Amino acid sequence: MAKRITIDPITRLEGHGKIEIFLNDKGNVEKAFFQVPELRGFEKFSEGRMAEEMPRITPKICGVCPTAHHMASGKALDDLFHVTPPSSAKKIRELINSAFMAEDHTLHFFFLGGPDFIVGPQAPAGERNILGVIQKVGLDAGKKVINIRKRLRNIITKQGGRVIHPVCNLPGGVSKGVTKEDREEYIQTGKDAVEFARFALKAFEDIVLKNKEYVDVIVGDIYKHKTYYMGLVDEDNKVNFYDGDIRVVDPEGKEFAKFKSREYLNHIEEHVEPWSYIKFPYLKDVGWKGFVDGKDSGVYRVAPLARLNASDGMATPLAQVEYEKMYDILGGKPVHNTLAYHWARLVELLYATERLLELAQDEEILDPDVRNIPTAVPDEGIGVVEAPRGTLYHHYKTDDNGVITGVNLIVATVNNAASICMSIEKAAKGLIKEGKVSEELLNMVEMAFRAYDPCLACATHSLPGHMPLEINIRDHETNIIETVRRL
């Protein structure tokens, strides 16, 4: 008897991320679908707007990572107006972006994805949240998390005006410089943030790496996909969040492509399915072969683990040590285990804090010359940054008057859309046998896509995090014959 299983995140009106699993006659998984049931259409309604308003319009794509959109948009405008920001402005932008990456990775590790590990994959769901984390690491440590997140966000508020949807980027620079007084505060925040990141890595080592059961889950086959990886790198092929070239490595870790943001259309194409509002990007030179991994499939992955795989290392000393350690323990590059995203995220947290401190300590950041006024006729611009959840592309075209005539956006999480589908299908296949659905399916499927930290706000507006799930197992006449629920 054919069965259909629906996993609905009950959050957000049984929508905004829905999983449908179809079983064959033998009760094994035939196919699984991860559907995204929402769309807003920024690409269309941005047409007709003044180009300089784009850094204020596009952050509304996502209130969780508005800073990443604000940065990609600012860079796209530099390119569009043919203007280079003064060095100080570039550093201020990167400072803001570093603070953002650090606070966002902190949020994910401690509040959203990390509880799976810190509290434990087998722990009751009710304990796998921030309160469970505080219980495990201690109240003082919990306070540390809240405090550092608040101080890092304060840097964005001071420079960007508002932390939810900053407003400071203009073509050719930023609207506001850094005061001496604020800089002192940023240096102190930077120092404390580096210590905090080291504390987070230590906690990961003590709680996760010293526990064989956890390590087995990380390296297990159920969460493994051999794909291509993409990320921004600097001139030494080190990870960079704000600037550089886009580098892609193949499933064996060899450089497959390295290109400038302006060349992205030569390398990326998007596929549409009628059953989801999300699009599925893939590598143009390999081609769309469906939801499969391997060298012959154009599916690639982005975000922390992908960035580390696509680079030759980290640009700051402490993060480099952690980078090497991760690959030593996991058996060299590239690492294909999806759950290693959590570890990579912490290596990046350390890099973001070290970079934040470097920039805050840089004397040039006090230079009041933070804007160059564009003089050329605007036409077309592309801005690419690394958002916490992956490579983010903003591409605008304007008329001579700087009015938007075309917009294309490839948003961080969307790059991972195909691999998220694949990860879910693989987890389902491993856990559903002959019609028997393990209770664990809920946890395991949740862990599979939480590792990507899918900012569905970007793609769908649904926030990641604790996602109550309900699986309905239906017979071929869609009658529910069994319900499995995770509260």
Partner 1 sequence: MAKPKVAFYWCASCGGCEEAVVDLNEDILKVVEAVDIVFWPVALDFKKKDVEAMGDGEIAASFINGAIRTEEQEEMVKLLRKKSGLIVAFGSCSHLGGIPGLANFWNRETIFTKVYKTVPSMANPSGIVPQQKTNIPEGELTLPEFYDTVKTLDQTIDVDYYLPGCAPPPDLIMNAVTAILESKLPEKGAVLAPEKSLCDTCPRGEKKPEKLSIKEIKRPYEIIPNPEKCFLEEGIICLGPVTRSGCGERCINANMPCRGCFGPTKEVVDQGAKGISAIASILGVEDEEKMTEEDTKKLIDQIVDPAGLFYMYSLPSSLLKRKRMA
Nearer to partner 1, 44 or 180 (CB): 44
Q: Which of residues 369-428 bind partner 1 (CB under 8 A)?
A: 371, 373-374, 395, 401-403, 406-408, 410
Rounded distance between C-alpha atoms, residue 118 and residue 107, angstroms: 14
Q: Which of residues 336-365 bind partner 1 (CB under 8 A)?
A: none
In what side-by-side order are the strands of the sheet with 245-249?
A: 255-259, 245-249, 228-233, 300-301
Three-class DSSP category at 480: strand
Total of chain residues touching partner 1, rule CB under 8 A:
93
Which of residues 7, 17, 52, 238 is near partner 1 by CB under 8 A? 52
Which of residues 194, 339, 421, 457 is near partner 1 by CB under 8 A? 457
Q: Which of residues 163-182 bind partner 1 (CB under 8 A)?
A: 163-168, 170-172, 175-176
Q: Which of residues 458-487 bind partner 1 (CB under 8 A)?
A: 461, 463, 465-466, 468, 470, 487
| In the complex, minimum distance from the CB of residue 140 to partner 1, in angstroms, rounded to a whole number | 15
Position 366 contacts partner 1 (CB under 8 A):
no
Position 13 contacts partner 1 (CB under 8 A):
yes
The secondary structure element, H or E, covering residue 319 is helix 317-330
Position 4 contacts partner 1 (CB under 8 A):
yes
Report which of 387, 386, 408 is spatially closest to residue 396, judged by C-alpha positions: 408
Backbone angles phi, psi at 299, to 5 degrees: -65, 130
Backbone angles phi, psi at 231, to 5 degrees: -170, 160
Which of residues 66, 381, 430, 454 is near partner 1 by CB under 8 A? 66
Position 60 contacts partner 1 (CB under 8 A):
yes
On whether the CB atoms of residues 69 and 396 are closer than 8 A, the answer is no
Nearer to partner 1, 192 or 205 (CB): 192
Q: Is 128 exposed, middle or buried (0-12, 13-18, 19+ CB in 10 A)?
A: buried
**What is the contact mask toward partner 1 in residues 238 to 267, using x (rule: CB under 8 A)?**
--------------------------xx--
Of 236-244, 280-288, 336-344, 420-428, the window that binds partner 1 (rule: CB under 8 A) is 280-288
Nearer to partner 1, 95 or 201 (CB): 95
Four-CA torsion 259, 265, 269, 270, nearest 10 degrees = 120
Ramachandran bin of 198, using left for φ above 0, alpha for ψ from -120 to 50, beta for the remaining angles: alpha
Position 43 contacts partner 1 (CB under 8 A):
yes
Which of residues 270, 312, 364, 367 is near partner 1 by CB under 8 A? 270
Rounded distance between C-alpha atoms, residue 227 and residue 296, angstroms: 9
Which of residues 91, 93, 153, 355 is near partner 1 by CB under 8 A? 153
Position 450 contacts partner 1 (CB under 8 A):
no
Position 92 contacts partner 1 (CB under 8 A):
no
Four-CA torsion 342, 123, 221, 23, nearest 10 degrees = -120
Nearer to partner 1, 281 or 334 (CB): 281
Report which of 207, 197, 433, 217 is spatially closest to residue 316, judged by C-alpha positions: 197
On whether the CB atoms of residues 452 and 406 are closer than 8 A, the answer is no
| In the complex, minimum distance from the CB of residue 293 to partner 1, in angstroms, rounded to a whole number | 20
Rounded distance between C-alpha atoms, residue 160 and residue 162, angstroms: 5
Which of residues 275, 433, 439, 483 is near partner 1 by CB under 8 A? 275
Q: Is 427 exposed, middle or buried (0-12, 13-18, 19+ CB in 10 A)?
A: buried
Which of residues 67, 73, 276, 415 is near partner 1 by CB under 8 A? 276
